Amino acid sequence: MMDLFELIERLVSVHGPSGDEGEIRETISALAAPYADEVSTDTLGNLIVHKRGPGPKVMFAAHMDSIGLIITHVEPEGFLRVGRLGGVSPREAVYTPVRFRNGVRGTLVPEEKADFGKLKLDECYVDIGARDREEARRLVQVGDTAVYDSPCFVSGGTVVSPYLDNRVSCAVLLAALERLREPENDLYFVFTAQEEVGLRGGKTAAWAVAPDCGIAVDVTDVDDTPGSSRSGTVQLGKGAAVTVMNSSVICHPAVVAALEETARTQGISAQRDILRSGGTDAGAIHTAGAGVPTGGISVPCRYIHTPVETASLADVEACVRLTAAFGQKKLLF
């Protein structure tokens, strides 16, 4: 498999907003297949990659969908009105190039008289250069989805890109899967659908897999930028973030302890992650069935849900190592 940055760059370039994950699912499936015993897709569109082992069932879940836009109306002049798929902030997204699944490109623009301080998505439109409604409809249709079309690049030791949330964690699972040879546990690497619109894929996947332990792999907000609001506890460059709590889950103490003990014994840099707002697939996994002991491994990330999300490549590598080591570790709970 390619190196970590190349893998991230490949994944963030693929179309896959919530509900339209077909292309990213196919891409991940092709990358995972050489290292898996079984690859399947469920009704909701989750990709389930099984690597057999003799021990308990451990489910690692990283959502493959991204936030995005969906066309709702085409104006007579050829401009597109759009709705949001997940947590799109118009103030963070305006003047950003966007790309539709068929390759048509445009720019999200605010109306001239809109109040930027109170900007709503209804006051924005996508300009694809169409001269009128008829030309626009030859290029795109109501219901088509668009994603940010910003570059992915390395700056120092960081990667800057749209959709590190959560393609960077998909890269973590793929890299960990490649490194595992004969795991002690029965491993399920699940690339979930529709997380950004309500943890939907994680819910159905957890019920289907019925794991003995669940680990949500995602990004998490940081507390290392000027004027930080202290909404998170982690920093870039300090290693993998072991989830203690976020707004969707209070992680099982035994799982938190096992992850921290694994990091300690393997010499993996790690830090505790408490997030005041925002959730992960752990929120869906831990209440599945009669309940699942659940934890989380997260990549610290700046500027989440913007076109310039930023993460440390060293932290990504720490998350790969922790995921692989935990998958190999024989669970005692």
Which residues are catalytically annotated? 195
Pairing of strands 57-63, 186-192: parallel
First-to-last alpha carbon distance for the chain, in angstroms, is 33
CA–CA dist 304, 300 (Å, integer): 10
- Cα dihedral 315, 171, 188, 19, rounded to 10, equals 120
> What element of type H or E holds 85?
strand 80-85
Nearest to 289 by CA among 204, 215, 223, 216: 204
On whether the CB atoms of residues 217 and 323 are closer than 8 A, the answer is yes
Q: How far apart are CA 276 and CA 274, in angstroms?
A: 7
- The three-point CA angle 320-296-325 to 5° equals 35
280, 248 contact by CB (below 8 A)? yes
Encoding tokens for residue 53?
Answer: 């082992």
Query: Which one-letter DSSP state was computed for residue 123?
Result: G
